[in-house]
């Protein structure tokens, strides 16, 4: 492949967290259909098994791996699994996310910390652990952020803080990883029609939100880009507004 040409996803080795539902599930299926080999990571082993079953017959392959990405020992073990099952890592997609949505007086410190652990500390640990493999492959890191990183929402203080922190971490790592040949991109979707919204108090127009498969489309595009173009951030918004 000549320098500057689009990169095909066939046989690309990808670690994808939060793979059991929503954006992660749609992305795993889309990338596997394009020929990628994916280590699909989630705490939900049953959902991962269904994901692997649903990808049967695709050009690529999905390897389910049950893991709690907030635990340092399990992240280190994940690195060994990636080396064994994928024989290297061309891309890490930090997609796992969760949040506790309560007003500040009702939100406990443990609930705040739990949100930050999934949305911020886990991407830090995963990127650190997989950095040598990504450097060998001159690979990509995609950090899936949220419109909540730049817009405040009542009852979402923990989630907004965690996603804003993820973008701060990402901006530093863009520069730190660049000399290693690792391209890091922040992907910031607007409101996306996922199950997480069902845990948030209030009524929402799901028809006005971005469907998860369109975020998966953006992920495929970013991973297919030539390394002559380093897209450091991308925002995907619904056509009806900026939520």
For β-strands 233-236 and 61-66, DSSP reports them as unpaired
CA distance 180 to 195: 37
What residues have CB less than 8 Å from 138, skipping those under 6 apart? Answer: 181, 182, 227
Six-digit token string for 224:
């297919």
CA distance 159 to 151: 11
For β-strands 61-66 and 140-144, DSSP reports them as unpaired
Cα-Cα-Cα-Cα torsion 224, 82, 232, 172, nearest 10 degrees, comes to -170
Pick from 93, 34, 36, 23: which is nearest to 62 by CA?
36
CA distance 133 to 135: 5
Cα distances from 62 to residues 32, 137, 199, 204, in angstroms, run 7, 20, 29, 33
Positions annotated as catalytic residues are 159
């Amino acid at each position: 492949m000549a320098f500057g040409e689009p990169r095909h996803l066939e046989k690309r080795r990808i670690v994808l967290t939060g793979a059991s539902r929503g954006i992660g599930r749609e992305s795993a299926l889309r990338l596997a259909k394009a020929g990628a080999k994916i280590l699909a990571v989630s705490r939900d082993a049953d959902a991962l098994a269904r994901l692997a079953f649903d990808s049967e017959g695709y050009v690529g392959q999905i390897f389910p791996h049950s893991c709690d990405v907030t635990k340092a020992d399990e992240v280190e073990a994940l690195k060994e699994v990636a080396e064994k099952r994928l024989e290297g890592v061309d891309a890490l997609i930090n997609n796992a996310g969760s949040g506790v949505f309560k007003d500040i007086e009702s939100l406990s410190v443990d609930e705040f910390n739990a949100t930050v652990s999934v949305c911020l500390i886990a991407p830090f640990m995963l990127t650190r652990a997989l950095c040598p493999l990504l450097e060998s492959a001159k690979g990509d890191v995609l950090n899936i952020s949220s419109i909540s990183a730049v817009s405040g929402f009542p009852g979402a203080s923990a989630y907004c803080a965690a996603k804003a922190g993820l973008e701060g971490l990402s901006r530093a790592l863009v520069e730190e990883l660049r000399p290693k040949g690792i391209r890091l991109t922040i992907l910031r979707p607007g409101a996306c029609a996922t199950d997480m919204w069902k845990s948030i108090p209030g009524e929402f127009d799901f028809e006005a939100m971005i469907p998860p498969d369109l975020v998966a489309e953006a992920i495929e595009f970013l991973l297919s880009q030539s390394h002559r173009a380093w897209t450091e951030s991308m925002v995907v918004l619904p056509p009806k507004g900026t939520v």
